[in-house]
A and B are shown apart, each in its own frame.
Chain A
Amino acid sequence: MKNRINTLFEQKQKDILSVYFTAGYPNLNDTVSIITELEKAGADLIEIGIPFSDPTADGPVIQQSSHLALVNGMNLNLLFNQLKNIRDKVSVPLILMGYFNPVYQFGVERFCNKCNETGIDGAILPDLPLWEFENNYQSFFEKNGIHNILLITPQTSDERILEIDNKTGGFIYMVSSSSTTGKNQKVEDFHQDYFNRVNSLGLKTPRLIGFGISDNQTFNKACENANGAIIGTAFINSFKNNIPLEKSITEFVKSVKNG
């Protein structure tokens, strides 16, 4: 079966919205309903976060959602169990995102097999460096048709961006600025020169901009400079105790897309 991420980018090149959430938060068993509601609300791509005890690239909001998800009892075995029948319910591309150690303890080959079985299309493992991936794990991903999605940042050199363009799977995750997740950014804070530099390289892979995308304004700005954007922290912040998940997800996606 064709990878759903590839199909998405073939069908849609602009204004793609990818949404991240931490599995196990706010409640342990919200995973499937968050995914189905996100698809219904119009998310084009969904990143399911695997919580980790020491999320060094994340700001306070995702640190907290990860911590609470672990307290709730989330782990990879349970996550794959929750997702067992997810392909009966949604067709949106699904990505697992998280730090390497939980995947390493689960077994990287087993992780890839499980992704394939479950209908997961890609993985984002920010602390799995390209060199380690190519030397030890690439074959597991390829055999299972799972994309390994790589990141670039404003500090990434042109030469390395071109290498990542060749080696990433599905798309390039363009970190908007030098920061951990969830920095409250305004449109003026974006590094337009970095966006221009990347756009002038003539890359063959689509790009989504993430980190610091929080609302309609920042989403539109990102979409002007790439194929779309990724929202995480702002989505997690949108969960409110007194509003049903379905309603808050619909409203959040609408507010990002339409203002």
Chain B
Amino acid sequence: MDYNVDEKGYYGEFGGAWIPEMMYANIEELRLRYLDIIHSEEFIEEFIHLLKNYVGRPSPLYFAKRLSEHYDTKIYLKREDLNHTGSHKLNNTVGQILLAQKLGKTRIIAETGAGQHGVATATVCALKGVQCVVYMGALDVERQAPNVKKMKMLGAEVIPVHSGNKTLKDATNEAMRDWINNPVHTHYIIGSVVGPHPYPDMVARFQAVISKELKVQLAEQTGNELPTRIIACVGGGSNAAGAFYHFLENKEVELIGVEAAGKGVDTDETAATLKVGSPGVLHSSKTMLMQNKDGQITEPYSISAGLDYPGIGPMHAHLFKSGRAKYLYATDKEVLEAALLLTQKEGIIPALESAHALAALNQLEFNENDVTVINLSGRGDKDMQTYLDYFGY
């Protein structure tokens, strides 16, 4: 079984490039050139330099002693929350801005949900002095206000999107429309392993630095580069893709993605795509989608703006279908409690997205010598208001 993308852009039956002709020239250029560019010496040198000295990599692998005691096992946290801008998102935007410059693009657009990808994009655009436009659902503009202000201070234009549910899906629609209207000088930095081929593969490759480092760090700290399991939250699935990437062929490592159940998978207010979805085509990719019987996309819901998406990257749809990875889900309430537990056991306030991975710990059984890695994809600064409102501090 092959878990990587084939030459047509497919992961098993999922993926492809379901693009209208208006996007063909851009996607074709990217498809033909991305591998040559990211494998070029010049690119690798600058990418590694920026990851080390700008992003702050390698991110630490931290043995969470008190959390481990709580679950009577060994839990390690991959600290993507310690990256510059506070999440794993910067790994991808650093890669894509370098690529965009090699393609001669002078204007960057992006979509964002929680604002983490928007901030990461605005950051690299400031770094390189490139014009930046970020589309963000109007509801997310409200619930992630600090990130909106950061993007503006970084010099980006933030455009609130008022269509649909006013969240991530709608922001993605609008970014695609922008690209159709500005095909020549604009590069679209997609923030997750979604969209048409080669985006899912390209973003996964940029995020794969997470699992590459994990192998080295696990060998150093545990004597074995392979853990028992790796757990990561999944919206589109970029941090999970990065955390799983170099372990896909190590079948003894259990890979677990955690989707956002919202108010519960048996309610209308959920974003657990693999649990409630079916195959379809959205945002130029064939993947699992939340939709009605007529093929209209249904509106997702999650307390976490970054996971509030009705689809999932085609790689995850394939890992799910093939059984290579297991996908669980956690409700808003479970997630909030898991965030509080980590905060009070380890002094780390996680992002709501990352707290989904932590919540899955309650659904698993451990041996005391198991090594469980949680990919702590982001920090909780942006979610303080939600936490304060819920816990009443």
Contact = CB atoms under 8 A, between A and B. Distances in A.
Interface pairs A-B: 6 shortest CB-CB: A105-B295, A155-B25, A102-B295, A126-B20, A151-B21, A75-B294
Interface of A: 52-59, 63, 67, 70, 75-77, 99-106, 126-129, 131-132, 150-153, 155-157, 160, 175, 178-180, 183
Interface in B311-349: none
Contacts of B183: 155, 178
B21 A100 contact: no
B93 to A, nearest CB: 22
Nearest to B183: A178
B282 A178 contact: no
A12 B176 CA distance: 37
A100 B284 CA distance: 10
A132 B16 contact: yes
B283 interface: yes
A210 to B, nearest CB: 12
B22 A54 contact: no
Contacts of A52: 295-296
Choose among A53, A150, A179, A183 the residue with the greatest number of B CB atoms under 10 Å from its CB. A53
Contacts of A77: 294
Contacts, number: 108
Interface in B13-63: 16-22, 24-26
Nearest to A178: B183
A128 B294 CA distance: 17
Contact of A56 (B173, B280, B289, B296): B173
Contacts of B181: 178-180, 183
B153 interface: no
Interface of B: 8, 16-22, 24-26, 163-164, 169, 173, 176-177, 180-184, 280-284, 289, 291, 293-297
6 contacts: A54-B282, A77-B294, A104-B281, A152-B21, A180-B22, A183-B181
Choose among B25, B164, B294, B296 the residue with the greatest number of A CB atoms under 10 Å from its CB. B294
Contacts of A131: 8
Given A56-B283, A105-B294, A179 B21 contact: no
A103 B18 CA distance: 14
Contacts of A153: 21-22, 24-25
Contacts of B289: 101
A104 B19 contact: no
Contacts of B18: 100, 127-129, 132
Contacts of B26: 155
A180 B16 CA distance: 22
Given A54-B173, A105-B280, A180-B177, A126 B21 contact: yes
B8 A54 contact: no
Contacts of B20: 56-57, 126-127, 151
A161 to B, nearest CB: 10
A54 B111 CA distance: 15
Contacts of A126: 20-22
A160 to B, nearest CB: 8
A116 to B, nearest CB: 21
A150 B21 CA distance: 8
A70 to B, nearest CB: 6
A58 B181 CA distance: 11
Contacts of B291: 101, 105
B295 A106 contact: yes
B296 A70 contact: yes
Contacts of B17: 129
A76 B294 CA distance: 7
A1 B204 CA distance: 51
B110 to A, nearest CB: 16
B281 A100 contact: yes
Contacts of A104: 280-281, 295
A127 B284 contact: yes
Contacts of A127: 18-20, 281, 284
A69 B3 CA distance: 40
A29 to B, nearest CB: 17
A153 B19 CA distance: 13
A129 B177 CA distance: 18
